[in-house]
Amino acid sequence: MKFTYPKPEKLKSKITIDLLFSKGKSVSKYPLRLVFVESDYGIPEGSGQKIKMGVSVSKKYFKHAVDRNYFKRVLRETYRLNKHLLIDNLDKPYAIMFFYQTKERLSYEEINNKTIQLFEKFVLQIKKEE
């Protein structure tokens, strides 16, 4: 398993992002939230790619771009190191948006632990829906 976050895995499509916010479902593990929708839009056939993922940190909680960028980097890093929890358990392609939703400045270790718990909760919800 490669622990990478390559460009084809990044969620950039405006259509898919709009779909996420209109029809997406949500899973939360305070202070993180995952909005997801089953979507193969933008994923090349036969690529074996299962996830398109983006991150967001609210300007409401962190006024300075420096702070928002720091937490976005942390979210991308925790995703990169723990995405095997998702990929090993998904059958269909998903578009996912990952949010940090608090004013609290949690440490990397706390965010990483919450990310693992959130991914496990997401996988359970997917299995339950199938």
53: domain CATH number? Answer: 3.30.230.10
Mean pLDDT across the chain = 91
Separation of alpha carbons 26 and 17, rounded Å? 14
User: What average pLDDT does the segment 36-43 reach?
Assistant: 77
Using the predicted structure, report yes or no on whether residue 14 has a pLDDT greater than 70: yes
- Tell me whether residue 37 is in a domain: yes
Percent of the chain's residues with pLDDT above 70: 93
Per-residue confidence band for 43, with pLDDT thresholds at 50, 70 and 90: low
- Tell me whether residue 108 is in a domain: yes
- Tell me whether residue 3 is in a domain: no
Separation of alpha carbons 79 and 72, rounded Å? 10
Per the structure, how many domains does the chain have? 1
- Tell me whether residue 50 is in a domain: yes
- Tell me whether residue 130 is in a domain: no
- Tell me whether residue 12 is in a domain: yes
- Tell me whether residue 39 is in a domain: yes
- Tell me whether residue 129 is in a domain: no
